[in-house]
Amino acid sequence: MGFGGWKSFVYLNINNNIKKIVMKCLSIVFLIFTLQSYAQISELKKNKMSTELTIDNWKNIPCTKNRIATKKDIENGSAVFVIENAENKPYKIDLPKLAYWNDSENNIQKLVVIIQIEETSQGIVTGYKDFDGNYGAGFLYEFKILDENEIENIKERK
Protein backbone atom coordinates (compact mmCIF):
# COMPACT_ATOMS: atom_id res chain seq x y z
CA MET A 1 0.00 0.00 0.00
CA GLY A 2 1.40 3.36 -0.99
CA PHE A 3 1.38 6.43 1.19
CA GLY A 4 -1.86 7.70 -0.37
CA GLY A 5 -3.62 4.38 0.35
CA TRP A 6 -2.49 4.52 3.96
CA LYS A 7 -3.93 8.02 4.35
CA SER A 8 -7.25 6.85 2.90
CA PHE A 9 -7.32 3.88 5.29
CA VAL A 10 -6.65 6.12 8.31
CA TYR A 11 -9.23 8.64 7.08
CA LEU A 12 -11.89 5.92 6.72
CA ASN A 13 -11.13 4.52 10.18
CA ILE A 14 -11.27 7.98 11.74
CA ASN A 15 -14.56 8.68 9.96
CA ASN A 16 -16.02 5.36 11.19
CA ASN A 17 -14.90 6.12 14.75
CA ILE A 18 -16.35 9.62 14.56
CA LYS A 19 -19.58 8.19 13.14
CA LYS A 20 -19.80 5.73 16.06
CA ILE A 21 -19.19 8.51 18.58
CA VAL A 22 -21.79 10.77 16.95
CA MET A 23 -24.34 7.93 16.90
CA LYS A 24 -23.67 7.17 20.57
CA CYS A 25 -24.07 10.88 21.44
CA LEU A 26 -27.32 11.07 19.47
CA SER A 27 -28.61 8.00 21.32
CA ILE A 28 -27.79 9.57 24.67
CA VAL A 29 -29.40 12.89 23.64
CA PHE A 30 -32.50 10.97 22.51
CA LEU A 31 -32.63 9.17 25.87
CA ILE A 32 -32.29 12.44 27.80
CA PHE A 33 -34.92 14.14 25.61
CA THR A 34 -37.32 11.24 26.16
CA LEU A 35 -36.79 11.28 29.91
CA GLN A 36 -37.25 15.06 30.05
CA SER A 37 -40.48 14.90 28.05
CA TYR A 38 -41.89 12.47 30.57
CA ALA A 39 -40.78 14.65 33.47
CA GLN A 40 -43.93 16.72 32.91
CA ILE A 41 -46.04 13.57 33.23
CA SER A 42 -44.11 12.73 36.39
CA GLU A 43 -45.19 16.08 37.83
CA LEU A 44 -48.80 15.11 37.16
CA LYS A 45 -48.22 11.78 38.90
CA LYS A 46 -46.75 13.59 41.88
CA ASN A 47 -50.03 15.42 42.33
CA LYS A 48 -52.17 12.30 41.76
CA MET A 49 -50.47 10.11 44.38
CA SER A 50 -52.44 10.68 47.56
CA THR A 51 -50.48 8.43 49.92
CA GLU A 52 -47.27 9.89 51.27
CA LEU A 53 -44.26 7.62 50.73
CA THR A 54 -42.65 6.63 54.03
CA ILE A 55 -39.98 4.20 55.20
CA ASP A 56 -42.81 2.01 56.53
CA ASN A 57 -44.94 1.84 53.36
CA TRP A 58 -42.36 1.99 50.51
CA LYS A 59 -42.88 -1.69 49.62
CA ASN A 60 -46.46 -0.86 48.58
CA ILE A 61 -45.53 1.70 45.91
CA PRO A 62 -46.78 0.87 42.40
CA CYS A 63 -43.96 -0.24 40.11
CA THR A 64 -43.33 -1.83 36.71
CA LYS A 65 -42.00 -5.37 37.17
CA ASN A 66 -40.50 -7.75 34.59
CA ARG A 67 -41.73 -5.84 31.54
CA ILE A 68 -41.17 -2.65 29.56
CA ALA A 69 -43.12 0.37 30.78
CA THR A 70 -45.98 1.86 28.81
CA LYS A 71 -47.53 5.33 28.79
CA LYS A 72 -50.33 3.93 30.96
CA ASP A 73 -47.71 2.98 33.58
CA ILE A 74 -46.51 6.59 33.54
CA GLU A 75 -50.07 7.83 34.03
CA ASN A 76 -50.79 5.51 36.97
CA GLY A 77 -47.49 6.23 38.72
CA SER A 78 -45.84 2.83 38.32
CA ALA A 79 -43.14 4.03 35.88
CA VAL A 80 -41.03 7.11 35.28
CA PHE A 81 -40.04 6.78 31.63
CA VAL A 82 -41.01 5.17 28.33
CA ILE A 83 -38.46 4.89 25.58
CA GLU A 84 -40.38 4.22 22.40
CA ASN A 85 -38.98 2.57 19.28
CA ALA A 86 -36.12 1.02 21.18
CA GLU A 87 -35.12 -2.55 21.79
CA ASN A 88 -35.33 -2.33 25.57
CA LYS A 89 -35.85 -5.31 27.77
CA PRO A 90 -36.84 -5.54 31.40
CA TYR A 91 -34.02 -5.92 33.91
CA LYS A 92 -34.56 -9.02 36.01
CA ILE A 93 -34.95 -7.78 39.57
CA ASP A 94 -37.76 -7.84 42.12
CA LEU A 95 -39.22 -4.36 42.57
CA PRO A 96 -39.63 -2.05 44.39
CA LYS A 97 -36.15 -1.63 45.90
CA LEU A 98 -35.01 0.86 48.49
CA ALA A 99 -31.75 2.47 47.41
CA TYR A 100 -29.46 5.43 47.72
CA TRP A 101 -29.14 7.48 44.55
CA ASN A 102 -25.74 9.13 44.24
CA ASP A 103 -26.39 12.66 43.01
CA SER A 104 -22.90 13.43 41.73
CA GLU A 105 -23.86 16.96 40.62
CA ASN A 106 -24.72 18.01 44.18
CA ASN A 107 -22.43 15.48 45.88
CA ILE A 108 -25.21 13.93 47.98
CA GLN A 109 -26.88 10.58 48.47
CA LYS A 110 -30.66 10.57 48.40
CA LEU A 111 -32.91 7.78 49.69
CA VAL A 112 -35.26 6.65 46.90
CA VAL A 113 -37.49 3.76 45.90
CA ILE A 114 -36.64 2.15 42.56
CA ILE A 115 -39.88 1.46 40.68
CA GLN A 116 -38.61 0.64 37.17
CA ILE A 117 -35.45 -0.79 35.58
CA GLU A 118 -34.89 -1.40 31.86
CA GLU A 119 -31.89 -2.52 29.84
CA THR A 120 -31.24 -0.17 26.91
CA SER A 121 -28.49 0.16 24.35
CA GLN A 122 -27.15 3.09 26.43
CA GLY A 123 -27.11 1.15 29.71
CA ILE A 124 -29.44 0.03 32.47
CA VAL A 125 -31.88 2.89 33.08
CA THR A 126 -33.55 3.15 36.48
CA GLY A 127 -36.69 5.06 37.45
CA TYR A 128 -37.31 6.08 41.05
CA LYS A 129 -39.54 8.01 43.42
CA ASP A 130 -38.03 9.91 46.35
CA PHE A 131 -39.55 10.54 49.75
CA ASP A 132 -40.46 14.13 48.79
CA GLY A 133 -42.78 12.77 46.07
CA ASN A 134 -40.46 13.55 43.16
CA TYR A 135 -39.73 11.15 40.30
CA GLY A 136 -36.45 10.78 38.47
CA ALA A 137 -34.24 8.48 36.45
CA GLY A 138 -30.59 7.54 36.23
CA PHE A 139 -28.33 4.69 35.30
CA LEU A 140 -28.19 1.69 37.61
CA TYR A 141 -24.54 2.33 38.50
CA GLU A 142 -25.67 5.55 40.22
CA PHE A 143 -27.69 3.59 42.81
CA LYS A 144 -26.79 1.49 45.83
CA ILE A 145 -29.59 -0.98 46.46
CA LEU A 146 -30.01 -1.57 50.19
CA ASP A 147 -30.20 -4.97 51.86
CA GLU A 148 -32.60 -5.82 54.71
CA ASN A 149 -30.06 -4.95 57.44
CA GLU A 150 -29.43 -1.51 55.94
CA ILE A 151 -33.18 -0.92 55.68
CA GLU A 152 -33.69 -1.89 59.33
CA ASN A 153 -30.92 0.53 60.36
CA ILE A 154 -32.68 3.35 58.50
CA LYS A 155 -36.01 2.50 60.17
CA GLU A 156 -34.37 2.55 63.60
CA ARG A 157 -32.90 6.02 62.98
CA LYS A 158 -36.24 7.53 61.87
The structural domains of the chain, ordered by start, are 38-157 (2.30.30)
Asked whether 80 and 116 are in contact (CB, 8 A), the reply is yes
pLDDT in tens, 27-70: 565 556 555 545 544 554 454 445 689 999 999 999 999 999 99
What's the pTM value of the predicted model, to 2 decimals?
Answer: 0.70
Asked whether 91 and 117 are in contact (CB, 8 A), the reply is yes
Distance CA 42, CA 17 (A): 37
Distance CA 75, CA 93 (A): 22
Element (DSSP H or E) covering residue 50: none
3-state SS track over 25-39: HHHHHHHHHHHHHCH
pLDDT in tens, 97-124: 999 999 888 899 999 999 999 999 889 9
DSSP secondary structure letter of residue 125? E
